């Protein structure tokens, strides 16, 4: 094995998260020294452990799992895309600065990605630039801003800025539509979440956004790109056979753009990993775990280590591809 084993999909919740001042705001209820609950008003959103904020706990788990480096991403519920822009700038800044306090404890092993107030693309660009100066190495964005998807003009302007700054972008699904039908059994997470990512990839493909974005944009998608890879054939068939119905604005069918994006390996099955390798290519799949959340992979990287792939491909999936995704910006 040459090079570090890199997990590109882990999350942080900063320990010193403040009271933001309104009853609906997210706040952290400390339940014990090593546990807390993320609260939305008086509703429990998620119980978490100190793995979310304690670098020592993270490093011990990384050592146990054979992970050398983690990309440390914001937790999407903190994005704040519903806030007024000025307030969103304030909250993103708090989150991003607190994240650096966690990753600074192991700067060679914990790589911070910032969040941005994407509802205001100009402010998002400014916050990204500020964070890069402060030590962040990339940015995580949600896959939509209310009804605006990734092909929204403002979001595309932000992605163009990321490409110009040579900064990697990680797209995480979030803010799924809650219905009575997805309420039981975590179906919101098991069904709606992968569909969200597929929806965003198809927006980028069918709108022609990929035709306009530079090839140099490094953009990755969580959970193996959601439902996209498995259903790329259906979307391609629609593009080829029924453009009269689909009305696509892209120069190529959706699967053509699969090699433009990175997808992580949080798919829990060798068969699913094979689909990713086939659709996106062995240069585009990177180790991700969703650490430390309950639907994440432990040990991190298990599906890659157990996959029936050549040593060369395994090396790519564990390390080389992520090094390309993360490579330090050219300045």
Task: List residues near Co ion by CB under 5 A.
Answer: 290
For the beta carbon of residue 306, count every other beta carbon within 10 angstroms.
11
Helix, strand or coil, per DSSP, at residue 262: strand
- Cβ at position 134, least distance to Co ion in Å: 23
C-beta of residue 58 within 8 angstroms of C-beta of residue 51: yes
Q: Within 13 Å and on the Cβ side, how many CA atoms surround 152? A: 17
- Cβ at position 11, least distance to Co ion in Å: 6
Q: Which is nearer to Co ion, 77 or 238 (by Cβ)? A: 77
68 DSSP β-pair partners:
none
Q: Which is nearer to Co ion, 10 or 320 (by Cβ)? A: 10
- What are the φ/ψ torsions at residue 66 (nearest 5 degrees)? 75, 35
- Cβ at position 297, least distance to Co ion in Å: 11
The answer to whether the Cα torsion of 50, 56, 61, 67 is positive or negative is positive
Q: Which is nearer to Co ion, 248 or 300 (by Cβ)? A: 300
Q: Which is nearer to Co ion, 152 or 290 (by Cβ)? A: 290
Distance CA 155, CA 36 (A): 33
Q: Which is nearer to Co ion, 196 or 290 (by Cβ)? A: 290
The DSSP element (H or E) to which 313 belongs, if any, is helix 311-315
Q: Which is nearer to Co ion, 160 or 293 (by Cβ)? A: 293
- Cβ at position 75, least distance to Co ion in Å: 8
Q: Which is nearer to Co ion, 93 or 224 (by Cβ)? A: 224
For the beta carbon of residue 66, count every other beta carbon within 10 angstroms.
15
Nearest to 233 by CA among 250, 211, 258, 260: 258
For the beta carbon of residue 259, count every other beta carbon within 10 angstroms.
13
- Cβ at position 222, least distance to Co ion in Å: 5
Distance CA 54, CA 201 (A): 34
Q: Which is nearer to Co ion, 234 or 298 (by Cβ)? A: 298
- Cβ at position 274, least distance to Co ion in Å: 22
- With CB atoms as reference, the residue minimizing the distance to Co ion is 290
Residues in Cβ contact with 89 at an 8 Å cutoff, skipping those fewer than 6 apart: 117, 120, 123, 126, 127
- Cβ at position 304, least distance to Co ion in Å: 17
- Cβ at position 264, least distance to Co ion in Å: 9
Residue 124: both structure tokens together: 């998002």
């Amino acid at each position: 094995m040459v090079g570090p084993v890199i997990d590109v999909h882990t999350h942080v919740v900063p320990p010193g998260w403040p009271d933001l001042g309104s009853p609906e705001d997210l706040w952290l209820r400390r339940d014990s020294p090593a546990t807390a609950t993320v609260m939305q008003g008086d509703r429990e959103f998620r119980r978490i452990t100190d793995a979310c904020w304690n670098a020592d706990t993270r490093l011990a788990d990384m050592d146990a799992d054979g992970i050398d480096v983690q990309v440390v991403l914001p937790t999407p519920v903190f994005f704040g895309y519903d806030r007024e822009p000025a307030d969103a700038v304030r909250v993103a800044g708090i989150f991003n600065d607190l994240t650096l306090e966690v990753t600074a404890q192991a700067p060679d092993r914990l790589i911070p990605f910032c969040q941005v107030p994407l509802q205001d693309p100009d402010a998002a660009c400014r916050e990204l630039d500020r964070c890069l100066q402060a030590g962040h190495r990339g940015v995580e964005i949600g896959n939509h801003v209310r009804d605006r998807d990734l092909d929204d003009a403002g979001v595309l302007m932000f992605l163009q800025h990321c490409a110009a700054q040579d900064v990697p972008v990680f797209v995480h699904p979030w803010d799924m539509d809650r219905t009575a039908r997805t309420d039981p059994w975590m179906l919101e997470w098991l069904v709606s979440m992968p569909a969200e990512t597929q929806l965003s990839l198809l927006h980028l493909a069918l709108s022609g956004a990929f035709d306009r974005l530079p090839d140099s944009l490094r953009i990755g998608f969580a959970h193996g790109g959601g439902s996209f890879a498995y259903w790329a054939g259906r979307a391609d068939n629609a593009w080829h056979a029924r453009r009269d119905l689909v009305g696509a604005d892209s120069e190529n069918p959706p699967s053509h753009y699969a090699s433009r994006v990175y997808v992580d390996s949080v798919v829990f099955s060798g068969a699913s990993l094979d689909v990713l390798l086939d659709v996106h290519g062995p240069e585009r799949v990177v180790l991700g775990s969703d650490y430390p959340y309950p639907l994440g992979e432990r040990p991190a990287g298990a599906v890659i280590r157990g996959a029936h792939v050549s040593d060369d491909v395994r090396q790519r999936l564990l390390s080389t591809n992520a090094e390309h995704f993360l490579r330090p910006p050219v300045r």
